[in-house]
A = this chain, B = another copy of it.
Amino acid sequence: MSAQSAIHMTSAQASNVVALRPQVALTHQRGTRLVDLKPKYGGASSQVEVRYLWAGAAHAPTVVVQGGISADRDVFTLDGQPGWWQELVGEGRAIDLRHCRVLCIDWLVPGDFGGQALGSVSTEDQADALAAVMTELGIEAVEAFVGYSFGAMTGLAFAKRHPSRLGQLLMFSGAHRAHPMATAQRSIQRQIVRMGLASGQSELALSLARQLAMTTYRGSEEFSRRFAAAPEFRDGRFQFPVEDYLNHVGQKFVERFDVERFLALSEAIDLHDVDPGAIQLPVTLIGVASDRLVPLADLCELQRSLRGATLEVIDSPYGHDASLKEVAKVAPLLRQALNCCCGV
């Protein structure tokens, strides 16, 4: 099947046309490009391999879509495991591939810079990588940058550094800087992982870091509803219902993520600090009242700095994860904002 083979091609030339509906010809490129990048934290300019997905209606305008640090370029997939925003990106979906193309990259890590960088990576680096890939693909400007969490932070860096290459910015649950309480929680996650690296327990440590992260992603009410049952005495100690969930979440993460990647991207969130003052283009901020990681107060502060930006609030018990779970609430916001290019 041609779509599948495209998914597994990694050369810079991977490109083909897949007719998913008789009437719409969709292009689907999933490849890599070598681009020149100068990292923010030390190091000279170097050639970096950027993995991207560019898919949708041929010749339609492009929309960048970037997710959290654990998301990859597969915002949707044509087969296999669903992409991280599968229900929102596709033909007839809120980001409608009959009317636009999505462009997404895998996040860069310091190792991609070939030992040039200080060991830290920035949202500016990610934004520059996207701009360089756009140039390689012949995309002068994208209609919109839709970012969630770390993707939203990267979108702000992109708007700051490459304003002429962007029509509008949509930021879901991401701000101009990390909140110090969230930095504290991520710092502890990184310390756990470094402790595990030092003692040969890196898998357990990464699982614990993810478990801790999950307590910051989700709302308190949701946990209250799901995990109110009494503990069981098992394997020599009391086990609480929420612990089974946390262990499962941690284990799943260990299977698909690695320690160095986690350390670098977690730190990149905390290093993120973009002055939004000079940004002129239209920005829509989307926040969630139950988000413990990115408080609404920080989005209000960002809105004030941006002057004229719109702030939408999603009512959800899912906290920072609401943009992943509340498809029915996120879709209308996307449709409304992208009406110019992708609306149905």
* CA A237 to CA B270, docked complex, whole Å: 13
Within 8 A of B (CB), among A66-99: none
Select which of B183, B195, B240 is within 8 A of A187 by beta carbon.
B240
Select which of B204, B240, B243, B295 is within 8 A of A195 by beta carbon.
B204
Judge if A254 is at the interface, Cβ distance under 8 Å: no
Task: Enumerate chain B residues within 8 angstroms of A233, measured Cβ to Cβ.
Answer: 118
A188 touches B228 (CB 8 A): no
* CA A322 to CA B280, docked complex, whole Å: 42
**Can you tell how many copies of this chain the complex includes?**
2
Q: A192-B192, A228-B180 are in contact. Are A246 and B187 (CB under 8 A)?
A: yes
* CA A333 to CA B279, docked complex, whole Å: 50
Stretch at the interface among A8-16, A27-35, A208-216, A336-344: A208-216
From residue A163, how far is it (CB to closest CB) to chain B in Å? Answer: 24
Judge if A282 is at the interface, Cβ distance under 8 Å: no
* CA A255 to CA B154, docked complex, whole Å: 42
Task: Enumerate chain B residues within 8 angstroms of A218, measured Cβ to Cβ.
Answer: 181
A 295-331 to B, binary, CB cutoff 8 A, 1 in contact else 0: 1010000000000000000000000000000000000
Judge if A267 is at the interface, Cβ distance under 8 Å: yes
* CA A187 to CA B246, docked complex, whole Å: 9
Stretch at the interface among A144-152, A164-172, A219-227: A219-227
* CA A199 to CA B197, docked complex, whole Å: 11
Task: Enumerate chain B residues within 8 angstroms of A211, measured Cβ to Cβ.
Answer: 184, 188, 191
Judge if A1 is at the interface, Cβ distance under 8 Å: no
A 34-47 to B, binary, CB cutoff 8 A, 1 in contact else 0: 00000000000000
Q: A188-B211, A215-B184 are in contact. Are A198 and B201 (CB under 8 A)?
A: yes
- Who on chain B is nearest to A301 by CB? B224
Judge if A273 is at the interface, Cβ distance under 8 Å: yes
- Who on chain B is nearest to A191 by CB? B208
A215 touches B185 (CB 8 A): yes
B187 touches A270 (CB 8 A): no
Task: Enumerate chain B residues within 8 angstroms of A246, measured Cβ to Cβ.
Answer: 184, 187-188
From residue A305, how far is it (CB to closest CB) to chain B in Å? Answer: 15
From residue A302, how far is it (CB to closest CB) to chain B in Å? Answer: 14
Judge if A196 is at the interface, Cβ distance under 8 Å: yes
Q: A201-B195, A215-B185 are in contact. Are A180 and B226 (CB under 8 A)?
A: yes
A181 touches B267 (CB 8 A): no
* CA A270 to CA B229, docked complex, whole Å: 12
B295 touches A220 (CB 8 A): yes
Q: A224-B179, A242-B187 are in contact. Are A205 and B195 (CB under 8 A)?
A: yes
* CA A215 to CA B179, docked complex, whole Å: 12
- Who on chain B is nearest to A271 by CB? B238
Task: Enumerate chain B residues within 8 angstroms of A237, measured Cβ to Cβ.
Answer: 119-120, 267
Ordered by A's residue number, 15 sampled pairs between the chains whose C-beta atoms are within 8 Å are A119-B236, A179-B223, A180-B224, A181-B220, A183-B227, A184-B214, A184-B223, A185-B215, A187-B240, A188-B211, A188-B246, A195-B196, A198-B201, A240-B270, A292-B292
Since A181-B242, A183-B242, A220-B295 are in contact, a sample of 7 more A-B pairs with Cβ atoms closer than 8 Å, ordered by chain A residue number, is: A180-B226, A184-B223, A184-B242, A184-B246, A188-B215, A192-B192, A237-B267
